[in-house]
Structure 1
């Protein structure tokens, strides 16, 4: 079956990975009307050869359109593809990722069932460096103000995309997805993001990926988001701070549990852990954690 949806896949020097992404879309239980590939100025010969072969291939079950542009970044490539789509819903997929066969069917129907939902996606299964299941939560704008709650691979309503102005093409250091989702969720008071609670995205991981490298500039990028979406942050300040406190507390608790486990197993603490015990942080729960850990060490006879 085909529905009122097209797929936009961005590409930049991704070799045969772009073919894997296209094949995953062509294997869907619910096919899109078209696949639009936007190549963002690839220079790699293998990548260009793969794109050339796909352009002339009769083997795909839906039309595959390839648009080439000078390198302008992933935001510009996505904007180009989405604006070229004629459908009311658009799947956005990076050229190095893949989707499971039911992704479009499940996520598309979630959007059909909830008219106020402006974006929707699913849980992710990572592969490559990390083998894990990641469970983003979706929701309204409030949780998105403290952390991104939706994968980059998603289906959007094109009307909301047009209202928010699309991806911010000045953001080339990362977090462009997070910023875009905030903009989409600001288009209506009841706008929200939906998540299918199944790992239907195959997300490629690498220590040199753009997503990982963007974390080096997290504070700088967050400052930009706060300034750009200041009204939303100001209106939900208490919830944002409490959400961030909950995230911080969860991480501190996990670290404390690891410390307790090391003590229980009579393992030597790392130098960074020892340094923390000598100089625990104050005012964020760190000192309380250090007291509990020191108490456990004394009871274990290692104080």
Structure 2
């Protein structure tokens, strides 16, 4: 396969971890990739470390912008990319060597796929498998089950306007997947542990307060109100069907027991 995959690595004051992320990119069995390191206004050694890595491989590229947040940094990198497919990778995480190969094979097998991701594992402050629920559009209306490093087409990113730069306090991945998938498209989770999520004490998610979380959730709900309403209706319909089914079974059982055993259990 000669398809170019663009790996986008935003970095804000994560220089100490950047090398591990880039090393996992260098170890990919699929070789037709480019990796764009986006320095989002870091004040640490991100620039010097990134430029040192650039000496090792021409497929590595470096760009800089004033600090504008994770969504903006990803958009900036993707806009500079040449690939047909995009794989975001945070600067403190890692990917397994066969991840790109297996994701591309999945896209080739099913043209209706919009997102391909995989099983995940935690490392750092916590270790072990990251138990994520299986994907469903209905559950996506309630919570996010796809981590940031899912692969998608650059064309689809462009069609939805990219990552929402208003999402500055987390949940930008959740909003992006809703935008990408709410109007159709299939999702596949590979039966392969290809993503490694670093758990840190000082991660952004751990420092988000309840007010910021509430504001983010409110913003996403308002932006995608059509999506949430449609899934709320589906959820209510399913609930009513379950209740009706339960009531009919209860009635039938009561009738049976009343007729033959002269007592009721419900």
What are structure 1's unaligned runs of at least 5 residues?
244-303
- Which residue does the alignment assign to 2:20? 20
Cα distance in 1 for residues equivalent to 2:6 and 2:232: 37
In structure 2, the residue matched to 1:53 is 52
Question: What is the aligned partner in structure 1 of residue 66 from structure 2?
Answer: 70
> For 2:233 and 2:132, how far apart are their aligned partners in 1?
22
State the partner residue of 1:9: 9
Contact 1:31-1:104 within 8 A present in 2 as well: no
Q: Which deviations, in whole Å up to 9, do the C-alpha atoms of 1:256-297 show, x marking residues without a partner?
A: xxxxxxxxxxxxxxxxxxxxxxxxxxxxxxxxxxxxxxxxxx
* SS in structure 2 at match of 1:34: strand
Kept in 2, the 8 Å contact 1:122–1:196? The answer is yes
Q: 1:237 aligns with which of 203, 226, 232?
A: 232
Partner of 1:261 in structure 2? Answer: none
- 8 Å CA contact 2:6–2:35 kept in 1: the answer is yes
Give a deviation string over 1:114-150, Cα, whole Å, max 9, x none. 2222122112110111112114345353221111021
Taking structure 1 as the reference length, what is the TM-score of the superposition?
0.73
Q: Does 1:185 align with 2:181?
A: yes
What's the offset of the Cα at 1:110?
1.6
Instruction: Count matched residues.
Output: 237
Counting only pairs closer than 5 Å after superposition, residues 1-303 of structure 1 correspond to structure 2 as 2-44=2-44, 46-55=45-54, 57=55, 59-60=56-57, 62-137=58-133, 139-186=135-182, 188-189=183-184, 191-214=185-208, 216=210, 217-239=212-234
CA contact (8 A) 2:24 2:97 kept: yes
Larger displacement relative to structure 2 (106-115 or 199-208): 106-115
Contact kept? 2:3, 2:84, Cα under 8 Å: no
How far apart, CA to CA, are the structure 2 residues paired with 1:228 and 1:122? Answer: 28
> Counterparts of 1:115 and 1:215 in 2: how far apart (Å)?
40
How well do the aligned residues superpose, as a CA RMSD in angstroms? Answer: 2.1
Contact 2:71/2:167 (8 A) holds in 1: yes
Query: Highest relative contact order (Cα 8 Å, sep 6+), 1 or 2?
Result: 2
Secondary structure of 1:115's counterpart equals: coil
Conservation of the 8 A alpha-carbon contact between 1:9 and 1:37: yes
Assess, with a 3 A threshold, how the Cα gap between structure 1 residues 28 and 170 changes in structure 2: closer, same or farther: same
Equivalent-residue separation in structure 1 for 2:166 and 2:180 (angstroms): 17
- Cα gap change, 1:205/1:241 in structure 2, threshold over 3 Å: closer, same or farther? farther
- Residue pair 2:4, 2:34 contacting (<8 A) in 1 also: no
Which sections of structure 2, spanning at least 5 residues, go unmatched? 239-266
In the TM superposition, residue 26 of structure 1 has moved relative to its aligned partner by: 1.0
